[in-house]
Amino acid sequence: MPTPGPGLRDRKRAETSVRIQAAAVELVLRDGPDAATIDAISERAGVSPRTFFNYFDSKDSALLGIQPADPGERDLVEELSEAASRGEDLVELVIRLVVSVMGIATPAGSAVHRDRIKVIRRHPEILTCQFAQLHARKHQLTASVAEILGSHPEFKEGADLETEASMVLALGAAAVRAALDEWARTSKSEEHVERRAVQLVRSTVERLQ
């Protein structure tokens, strides 16, 4: 039996989200970040400011497509933990988690996605908002990283998972931030970000040994 698609309510909600995001990036591209107020974004998207806050908690969140925690994140953590139990590389798994929870909500190749790339490259300081989201969810993400680490067969028994997970998360987030800053200054593809972040973690750890 085929899996049913999203219902009408979900489709309308997704359409409204994309409309708000499109309004935000269009205003920034045309008039600059200061012009993209919540009132201006809401008016351009054809929604009320109250409706705006049902989808995003700030104009930067709308610009970057950062929405509340995805209910599918639990599935992602379970998937990564299962991969860890098979002995897959922990650095790659943690970086994948960090990149995934950054929350870009529109599909690659869409007009909004392409315009967002232009915005980030013109105004890379906007990326700070993404990392504020990570910091706000630090406790939850640390627990997720601890679960992934603890699933790996070679992880030391009796290790202080919470402390080590916090350190690994901080290193992974810093590497992703550095990779994103580099990406914003170059013409490299977005796929470069995850690979570069993994490379940065490995090279940094090697230099410290």
Q: What is the band of 146 on the pLDDT scale with cuts at 50, 70, 90? A: very high
Rounded-to-integer distance, Cα 169 and Cα 32, Å:
33
Q: Using an 8 Å Cβ cutoff, are 53 and 147 in contact?
A: no
Rounded-to-integer distance, Cα 101 and Cα 79, Å:
14
Inform me whether the pLDDT recorded for 3 exceeds 50: no
Task: Give me the DSSP letters along 92-124.
Answer: HHHHHHHHHTT---S-TTSHHHHHHHHHHHH-G
Lowest mean pLDDT among 85-89, 130-134, 176-180: 130-134
Give me the half-sphere count of Cα atoms (radius 13 Å) on the Cβ side of residue 41: 32
Rounded-to-integer distance, Cα 58 and Cα 113, Å:
18
Give me the half-sphere count of Cα atoms (radius 13 Å) on the Cβ side of residue 74: 1
201 conformational bin, left if phi > 0, alpha if psi -120 to 50, beta if neither: alpha
Rounded-to-integer distance, Cα 177 and Cα 131, Å:
8
Whole-model pTM above 0.85?
no
Task: Give me the DSSP letters along 56-85.
Answer: -SSHHHHHHT--SPPTTHHHHHHHHHHHHH
Distance of CA 61 to the CA centre of its chain: 11
Give the model confidence (pLDDT) of 155-181 as tens digits: 766 568 889 999 999 999 899 888 888
Boundaries of every domain in the chain: 8-64, 73-101+137-208
Give the model confidence (pLDDT) of 13-60 as tens digits: 889 999 999 999 999 999 999 999 999 999 999 999 999 999 988 888
Q: Does CATH place domain 8-64 in 1.10.10.60? A: yes
